[in-house]
Structure 1
Amino acid sequence: MKRKVTSKGKQAAKAFEGAMGQGRMAEITTDVFRRGKVALDSVVWEMGQLLVEAIMYMEREELAGPDYAPSDPTISKGGTQAGSVYVGDRKLRVRHPRLRGPEGEIELASYAQLKQRGGFSEELLEKSLRGLSGRRYDETIGDAAAAFGVARSTVSRHIVEATAKKLQEFKERDLSAIVPFAVLLDTIHRGGSAFIVALGVDVNGEKHPLGFWEGATENAEICEELFGDLERRGLKLTHRVLFVVDGGKGIIKALRDRFGKKLLLQRCTIHKSRNIQRHLPKKYRAEARAWFRRAIDCVQLNDAKRELNSLEKWLRRINSSAADSLLEALNDVVTIHRLRMPELLRKTLHSTNAIESMFSTVRDCEMNIKRFRGSAMRQRWLGAVLLHCEKGFNKVKGHKDIAAVLRTIDGDQCEEKMAA
């Protein structure tokens, strides 16, 4: 029986060499020895189990030599042994060839690489992040004849391991190489907890999820803990950084306590517009929204303030609370105008849309989670998803104008010092 199986493996290796060419097979084999499963995944799925076994037989031939001309008399060939490898997102049965040396069993390097579970956990995680429930994984892997041993409990364990690894990577990564131009702050509520999340835009226009901090509610203390965590990991939060927030009182208080009059704060214009409209009867809401939008679209600071002051007077006649809501944020919604920010960059930083878009991805990725089982699970998933989001980030629109805006900031602060 052993000879029959061994003969079958040798025939498979020869068949692939004939079909693909000996040179190409040697190239694939070398790459798999060097990089393991990563290299194999790109070529193996169509060829499947047969190619995996062929590669292992080819390695055995390289180590021990052919039967008629052994290269090392101290190494002897055995039969085969049942085993399993991870290929793509499937766990496959294989028969791996055996070798024995003076000190006992010799494990093939290719088999050792292919049976590692790390890559399998990563791929399961990627599928889960795309909305695939771990409870339904056994329905999606398909081709049951080629796959085996993927139980719900196994999938859950792999996901826990992978998300824990991602969370550690996210919370421990060094931020000292990031020079922030803007930091967007917002809160996402998950499983009964509030997570204040920071999204950074560096001086080159690249976006980076910087960190998060969990609390029962959004408050100044939790926000300060987040700032402390970012600074411990090397991020420099200075008076040159523009902070974009949705209007949460806790976040704004923490920022004002930290930076005082030097704070560069841009209130989200979309949130402020909605807040104003909530105070108004329905028949006035469309006009108030259009008027506010017209003010924000102004290029010059004086034009924007003139429109907003006119809007405040109009609102005062209809609803004083709506007018007060506008008045308390009047200076903070035009910070982008005060910095003479060009149009494309204003479109990015006049609101918290960039971080809201990231939160949308978080919700999509977690849509199959029915219940969070404690803080550890909430944090594991959030850290993993934020890293997943980062892969799809593009530079912000208008990033070429960031250097000019920074010069404006430096010039304005220099004038303030001279005036003081």
Structure 2
Amino acid sequence: MKDCKAKAAGKKPALKIAHRNDRAAVRHWLAGNGQALLPMLQLLDKAQASIDELMNEAARGLIEQLLVLSAQELAGAKLRGRAGGDVLWHGTQRGQVPLAERKLQVTRPRLRSKATLKEVAVPAYERLTGDARMAARVRDILVASVCARRYESVLPAVAGTVGVSNSAVSRRMVEASTEQLRALNERSLKDLKLLAIYIDGIVVDAHHVVGAIGVDEAGDKHLLGLAAGSSENAPVVKDLLGGMVERGLDPQLKYLFVIDGSKALRSAVDEIFGDRGQVQRCRTHKLRNVLERLPKEQRAQTKAVMNAAFKLEAKAGMDKLRQQAKWLQAEYADAAASLLEGIEEMFTVNRLGLPPTLMRCLTTTNIIEKPNGIVRSTTQRIKRWRDQDMALRWTAAGFLEAEKSFRKILGYEELWILRVALGRDRTPATKESKKAA
């Protein structure tokens, strides 16, 4: 009854599909509503947009109708008994359209010239078959937690698709991720006005990878590089920092380095930057190291004392921690020793006079935890790690994925205070000083 009313009003009935795999209904509806696809044809024509996202049962019918519309622009509507113009319809032929993840078999229209009888290309088909972004898209799917050996499982069950083989996916992942890693470690750092540099490591399978992220004067985060090897391995860290200098990081400027308690890391910073490297030890690591050496009933009180000390001026805060260590010494000597180790570098930001808003993010390497989390989630399905290079490539893929959603650090409006404390420039002019000038 509703369809009758719609026809009477000059409207076409809405698409009704009893089952999501009912391709016949989809094709029938698209055939009767082809004009609705004209904006998409224009998008293909002007912007060369791909159809990568049409990964469902409607993809084949949609593409075929786009091809028909494109052919109609050259040959006009296909009407029985009509001679046609300079370009004629010449039946159909099977073809393939490479989507981002697979190749889709379609039935494409054929055209020929009336004068020469030669084949005339359908514009939309030429554009769709010219999409060369398969390798990059394959890498994106793999980074989304799909193992290469289960690649086909992420594709919709579309009849006629030709799945890409496991070996082809693996090769493309290796090629794409190798190129990404190379590009990351060759990025120019010359124009980055970095103030703070975070360095931390992650264990991927049994392999260690060290990563560095920088924060510039505007509060934006930047991936600076990755190196294979533990943060306890001094040569690896020196190579990472040395490579950053070669790519444009000025070693004559002062920087705030936020690191864990690694002696190798500290040694590498000293060797390359000397006293220009202002080191802030990660308080999250310190809390963890101290508390894990205490029984559960003692942890809350020690944690409260440490957090309170971190908010004080440098001298007062260190005195408070030394007093707590003295109290712990009798029964928990290991915890006391851990608390005192590197105590002065726990208060570097306090000595620089930074406000609490900046201290929250400049006293911990948690800024690298998000990339590390993505690396863990994207690699959890991998059962076999061939070598350290594989771990490094996957870590790079995870870090680059995290970079897409990087935001400014908390308190970035007050980074000028850090800039002044590092001797980069003078305090910003106030309204009063501008009037006086």
Q: Give the TM-score, by structure 1 length.
A: 0.82
Counterparts of 2:384 and 2:246, CA distance in 1: 32
Task: Please tell me whether the aligned partners of residues 92 and 148 of structure 1 are also in contact (alpha carbons under 8 angstroms).
Answer: yes
Structure 2 unaligned blocks of 5 or more: 1-25, 428-437
Deviation of the 1:88 alpha carbon = 6.1
Which of 228, 232, 235 is residue 218 of structure 1 equivalent to?
A: 232
Match of 1:196 in 2: 210
Runs of 4+ displaced beyond 6 Å: 12-15, 101-104, 411-414
1:265 paired with 2:279, answer yes
Q: Deviations over 1:48-103 (max 9, x none)?
A: 212212222333343455676866x5x66543322222346453210223345779
Q: Which moved more, 1:160-169 or 1:259-268?
A: 160-169
The DSSP-based 3-state class of the residue aligned with 2:192 is coil
Cα pair distance change 1:371/1:287, threshold 3 Å: same
Q: Distance in 1 between matches of 2:382 and 2:203?
A: 14
Asked whether 1:245 is paired with 2:259, we answer yes
Q: If the length of structure 2 is used for normalisation, what is the TM-score? A: 0.79
Shift of 1:13: 11
| Identical-residue share of aligned pairs (%) | 31
Amino acid at match of 2:104: L
Query: Which is worse superposed, 352-361 or 213-222?
Result: 213-222
Q: Alignment partner for residue 190 of structure 2, among 153, 176, 180?
A: 176
CA shift, 1:184, in A, is 0.6
| Correspondence for 1:326 | 339
Assess if the C-alpha contact under 8 Å between 1:45 and 1:87 holds in 2.
no
1:366 aligns with 2:379: yes
Query: How far 1:345 moved relative to its partner?
Result: 1.7
SS of the counterpart of 1:172?
coil
Q: CA-atom RMSD, angstroms?
A: 3.4
Q: Name which of 193, 196, 201 aligns with 1:187.
A: 201
Contact preservation (8 Å) 2:257, 2:280: yes
Gaps of 5+ in 1: 1-11, 415-420
2:410 equivalent to 1:397 = yes
What's the counterpart of residue 14 of structure 2?
none
After superposition, the C-alpha distances for 1:356-385 in whole angstroms (9 at most, x for unaligned) are 232121111111111222344223222222
Aligned pair in 2 of structure 1 residues 97, 129: CA closer, same or farther (>3 Å)? same
Residue aligning to 2:423: 410
Residues 198 and 212, structure 2, Cα contact 8 Å, conserved in 1: yes
Partner of 1:7: none
Determine whether 1:81 maps to 2:127.
Answer: no
Say which SS state the counterpart of residue 94 (structure 1) adopts: strand
Q: Aligned-pair distance for 1:326?
A: 2.9
Count of residues paired in the alignment: 397
Is the contact made by 1:17 and 1:25 (CA closer than 8 Å) also made in structure 2?
no
Match of 1:380 among 378, 393, 408: 393
Q: Quick one: which of 118, 138, 163 aligns to 2:152?
A: 138
Q: 1:338 aligns with which of 333, 344, 351?
A: 351
Q: Which has the higher helix share?
A: 1
Amino acid at match of 2:372: F
Give the one of 27, 30, 47 matched to 2:42: 30
CA shift for structure 1 position 182: 1.0
Question: Which position in structure 2 is the counterpart of 1:301?
Answer: 314
**For residue 324 of structure 2, what is the aligned residue in structure 1?**
311
Quick one: structure 1 residues 190 and 116, their matched pair in 2 at CA, closer, same or farther if it must change by over 3 Å? farther
* 2:105 match: 93
> CA shift at 1:348, angstroms?
1.1
Contact 1:267 1:332 in 2 (8 A): yes
2:75 is the counterpart of 1:59: no
The residue number in structure 2 matching 1:49 is 60
1:166-206 per-position Cα deviation (integer Å, ceiling 9, x unaligned): 33432333333322121110112224432211011121111
Equivalence for 2:430? none
